[in-house]
Structure 1
């Protein structure tokens, strides 16, 4: 599925002559709120008319998928995926990948993705690291530059370890009800970002638990949900896919 074809394309803007459709995600054909779809047997691709995508379209794409996932499983596609016509959608995606798509829809049924973002106050986090590892500001005095750099790197590593351990504690209630979770790409060394795969009924309790963390001194907390399961499109221990469709 990772080989480019003349009629179905990923994010590239090259050679778009003849393109007529933007592809958003795969749902079951009987999805109650799928809107405009191209159907093949029991599968359907949510589509819209092609135009040069903008930043606003990227937001709308994610919002659309977030609404769809409330009423049934969705296999999301990368924003900007296009097709020349409905026939290519049926032949090159739905029919060609039907067993895998059905398996993903079955596995994701009733589940949604939730993102949790924790931001720790840097001064407070450093104080905790220094207390736990008996590293003090005074130890840097009189050291040469290379030694101070190494000490700084050690402190940074300890800060990340502390952040992850502290995040495990703070997010334990969410982890307990999650089917799966993964670390998202890191921001700075005081920011923890995680994605959880949750039963839909657990989203609001999880959101409440995460946002309540903002009342703790030195912690900022945000939650984004429900989201399509972009980060959970492979089976456990399965090699991540390089498909241009995103799964």
Structure 2
């Protein structure tokens, strides 16, 4: 029977799984598959596995329980294997890689930061600080502009938006980088122009959070910094 794989830990991990439920309806009991010095936390995989709210919550609860007791390599929701032997084989084949990664993640958690810039506020800043954009906008609004000028204004604003967002994103990452072991940048979605995760060790957590709060204060209400964490280090497995 196919098995659902939640995470990988060292064999020395306490593995307190009592009271936890696995994915599926009814939820499958959790168990461990051991190979050498590694454990994988698994349960039987439901046939109709989909990212239902209850199953995603169960997956996350397992990660959080394991994280509370030690280092864990959390797998993304939906990872399955053919059977316990296939899981055991994967642990054996990649034992060195998994052991190194567990050591790297020891004592650290993930923080994810997403940043957006209020569109109208950014536009006002561009028109205020770019003489060319200001003049083109005035001509267009005043009725003396040409279609070519409107097109040029649109292209100029698009270039300015991209340049300013890239510069601010780089500045934010540079400010937080000293307090993280590692960073992982993902493609932003929606109105966000930055989506970055940091691997932060416990000793640096206070400075990381203080720096993020300082950045949010400096940037003001026009920029929204949304920080989530501590999280299982999905981005660094």
Specify the TM-score bucket, using the shorter chain as the normaliser.
Answer: 0.7 to 0.9
Partner of 1:187: 189
8 Å Cα contact 1:26-1:45 kept in structure 2 = yes
CA distance, structure 2, for counterparts of residue 231 and residue 150 of structure 1: 40
Return the match for 1:232 from 200, 211, 236: 236
Range with bigger deviation, 26-35 or 161-170: 161-170
Q: Provide closer, same or farther for how the CA distance between residues 73 and 204 of structure 1 changes in structure 2, counting only shifts above 3 A.
A: same
CA distance, structure 1, for counterparts of residue 15 and residue 183 of structure 2: 27
8 Å Cα contact 1:111-1:197 kept in structure 2 = yes
RMSD: 2.7
Partner of 1:74: 72
Range with bigger deviation, 72-81 or 129-138: 129-138
Partner of 1:24: 6
CA distance, structure 2, for counterparts of residue 206 and residue 122 of structure 1: 28
Return the match for 2:162 from 150, 160, 163: 160
Q: Secondary structure at the match of 2:69?
A: coil
Q: Shift of residue 28 of structure 1?
A: 0.7
TM-score, structure 1 as length reference? 0.72
How many pairs are equivalent? Answer: 213
Return the match for 1:104 from 89, 101, 104: 101
Partner of 2:227: 223
Q: Deviations over 1:134-175 (max 9, x none)?
A: 343540422325x63454244223213212323444565432
Partner of 2:146: 143
Q: Which has the higher helix share?
A: 2
Return the match for 2:44 from 19, 34, 49: 49
Range with bigger deviation, 105-114 or 130-139: 130-139
Q: Secondary structure at the match of 2:78?
A: coil
Q: Secondary structure at the match of 2:121?
A: helix
CA distance, structure 1, for counterparts of residue 205 and residue 15 of structure 2: 20
8 Å Cα contact 2:8-2:72 kept in structure 1 = yes
Q: Provide closer, same or farther for how the CA distance between residues 213 and 64 of structure 1 changes in structure 2, counting only shifts above 3 A.
A: farther
Q: Provide closer, same or farther for how the CA distance between residues 135 and 196 of structure 1 changes in structure 2, counting only shifts above 3 A.
A: farther
Structure with bigger gyration radius:
2
Structure 1: gaps (5+ residues): 1-17, 234-247
Q: Deviations over 1:102-133 (max 9, x none)?
A: 12112222222210122222122222233443
